[in-house]
Structure 1
Amino acid sequence: MKISDIVALGLWPESKKTTSLKGIAELEDLGYNLFYIGKNADLYTCPGEDAKVLLVRSDRCSVFDIPLNLEIEGKGVSQTAISNNGAKFAKQSGIRTAILDETIDQSLSIAPRCQLMELCKPLEAEIDGEVVQFELIFRNYLTGSLFEATKKGEDPYGLNLSSDLKEWSKFETPLFTPTTKGVKDIPLNSQKVREIFPEIISSLEKLFKEFTEFAQENGIIVVDTKLEVFVNSKGEWILGDEILTPESSRFISKEDFDAGNYISMDKQILRDFGKAQNWKEQAKELKPGQKLEVNVPQEIKDKILSGYTTILNRLSK
């Protein structure tokens, strides 16, 4: 399938620019053609007529939606394996995902970074007179932006939380805090979104609860997770490629959590370093297509990779 066929099916957003650059030779030689370069992964069209693409994860890094010149060797392979585990867990809970069971030739050196994906487009619906796409977020603990809002007496999701709640309070049942997906994520009323997608939200809530319990039994505390829903060519709702992964969730090792050390085992380590280095301010000078030149100590890289490795080891089923 060519990129023109994908566009014709309405499964590729006009806002995402494609590339005419050549991709990895061993893939191009087999008829997989690079057409999109993302911040952390690339997409290839596949030989044949099926509505699918090949996602190839790189070792590239980004934070705050800022592309960096930073690569962490081995990160892409770990991320792919964790993503496959998350998809497997979702499928065992009866939820379809964009990640196909089919794989490319496993003898290829690039194979551990690859996932064959069903072509799909973001789920959309009208909220308060505007058509929006969604990020569906579930939280087990009060922290981050929700804690800051609650402390100020604000109620961005219509949840009626007490402003007296302490940070890291655990909710008896997970909170659903949806936002729009875009340049800026805007909080949405939780109940309104539930009413639009009752079956989707209840299915994802059940998945989140089951995964939280499984992860805790295996030494990882799940603070929260973001799930993105798409629609395939048959009109069925499915989950994307980042399902219950460190790219979409905050994971803390149980031993750290019990000791009151709330550092996530994911790119939060890089975010914290970037915040201290003022990367957001530096990135304002970037031109389109440019990467921010950063200098990250090896110990930070090692800590990030160690977190991914621990997550993979503990959550592999």
Structure 2
Amino acid sequence: MNIEKIKSLNLWPENKKTTTQKGFDELENSGYNLFYIGKNADLYSCPGDEPKVLLVRSDRTSVFDIPLNFEIEGKGIIQTEISNFGAKFAANNGIRTAILDEKIANNISVAPRCQLMKLCKALESNIDGEIVQFELIFRNYLTGSLFQALQENKDPYGLDLPNNLKEWHNFETPLFTPTTKGLKDEALNSKKVRDTFPEIITSLEKLFKDFTDFAKQRGIVVVDTKFEIFVDENGKWVLGDEVLTPESSRFIALEDFEKNSFISMDKQILRDFGKKENWKEKSKTLKAGEKLEVNVPKEIKDKILSGYKTIFQRLSK
């Protein structure tokens, strides 16, 4: 199904630009045609008439939504392995994902970084008079933007939390802190979103709790996770491609967490480096399609890849 057919079925957002650039020769020669280049992954249309696409993860890396001229060799493959694992964990909990069991031919060299996926629309609803898409976030610990909001006596999600809670407070029940999905994520009232999608939120909350317990038994503390929900051609909701992965979640090695070392086993070390190097400010001069030129030490690259590998090894053992 080519991109024009996909657009005609309203399965591709109008605000996302497509590309006429050619992808990997072996994919193009097999009938898969590149139509979208993302920050970290590319999408190809598939041969035949089924509503599906091929996602190909690259080794490209981004932080703060800034595209970088920085790659970590092997990251795309290990990310795909973790994503497939997350999809199976969700399926075992009775939750559908957009990721299909079908695989492309093993003789294609990029097969280990590929996932065939259902074509789905993003979940939308009217919240406070505005049609929005969602990022559904669950938190086990008080840190990051929520901790900062409490320090400023703000209550962005309508949770009525005490403002004297310490950073890294462990919530007895995970907090649900939804946001809009867009150029700038805006906090939404937790109860309103829960009341709008009660079955979805209850199912995801159970999945998050079960995964938190599972991961801890394997030496990983799950700080929080973000779920993106889509609707398939039958009107049923499904999870996207990043299910319980380092791209959607914050993982900390249990042995580090117990020593009060709260560095995530993923790109947090790169985010911290980027803050020191003032990447956000530098990125303001970028034009559409440009990448920020950065110089990242090899030890940071190696540590990030090691973190991804450790996550997969511990979860899949």
Same fold (TM over 0.5): yes
Once residues 186 and 57 of structure 1 are traced to their aligned partners in structure 2, the CA distance between those partners, rounded to angstroms, is: 27
Offset at 1:47?
A: 0.4
Once residues 222 and 308 of structure 2 are traced to their aligned partners in structure 1, the CA distance between those partners, rounded to angstroms, is: 14
Offset at 1:316?
A: 1.4
Q: Secondary structure at the match of 1:62?
A: strand
Once residues 91 and 65 of structure 1 are traced to their aligned partners in structure 2, the CA distance between those partners, rounded to angstroms, is: 29
Once residues 180 and 30 of structure 1 are traced to their aligned partners in structure 2, the CA distance between those partners, rounded to angstroms, is: 38
Paired position in structure 2 for 1:174: 174
Once residues 3 and 231 of structure 1 are traced to their aligned partners in structure 2, the CA distance between those partners, rounded to angstroms, is: 19
Paired position in structure 2 for 1:301: 301
Paired position in structure 1 for 2:131: 131
Q: Secondary structure at the match of 1:138?
A: strand
Offset at 1:107?
A: 2.3
Paired position in structure 1 for 2:163: 163
Once residues 190 and 304 of structure 2 are traced to their aligned partners in structure 1, the CA distance between those partners, rounded to angstroms, is: 33
Offset at 1:123?
A: 0.2
Q: Which amino acid aligns with 2:241?
A: D
Paired position in structure 1 for 2:191: 191
Q: Secondary structure at the match of 1:304?
A: helix
Q: Which amino acid aligns with 1:118?
A: K
Q: Which amino acid aligns with 1:63?
A: V
Offset at 1:151?
A: 1.8
Paired position in structure 2 for 1:241: 241
2:259 is aligned with 1:225: no
Once residues 270 and 61 of structure 1 are traced to their aligned partners in structure 2, the CA distance between those partners, rounded to angstroms, is: 10
Q: Which amino acid aligns with 2:175?
A: L
Paired position in structure 2 for 1:215: 215
Q: Secondary structure at the match of 2:246?
A: coil
Once superposed, which parts of structure 1, at least 4 consecutive aligned residues long, lie more than 3 Å away? Answer: none
2:78 is aligned with 1:78: yes
Paired position in structure 2 for 1:9: 9
Q: Secondary structure at the match of 1:7?
A: helix
TM-score (norm 1): 0.99
Q: Secondary structure at the match of 1:270?
A: helix
Q: Deviations over 1:31-79 (max 9, x none)?
A: 0000000000000000000000000000000111110000000000000
Offset at 1:265?
A: 0.6
Once residues 21 and 156 of structure 1 are traced to their aligned partners in structure 2, the CA distance between those partners, rounded to angstroms, is: 42
TM-score (norm 2): 0.99
Paired position in structure 2 for 1:314: 314
Q: Deviations over 1:261-285 (max 9, x none)?
A: 0000111111111011000010011
Stretches of structure 1 that go unaligned for 5 or more consecutive residues are none
| % identical equivalent positions | 72
Q: Which amino acid aligns with 2:228?
A: E
Paired position in structure 2 for 1:110: 110
Q: CA RMSD in A?
A: 0.6
Once residues 73 and 59 of structure 1 are traced to their aligned partners in structure 2, the CA distance between those partners, rounded to angstroms, is: 6
Aligned residues: 317
Q: Which amino acid aligns with 2:156?
A: P
Once residues 113 and 162 of structure 1 are traced to their aligned partners in structure 2, the CA distance between those partners, rounded to angstroms, is: 44
Q: Secondary structure at the match of 2:285?
A: coil
Paired position in structure 1 for 2:122: 122
Q: Which amino acid aligns with 1:49?
A: D
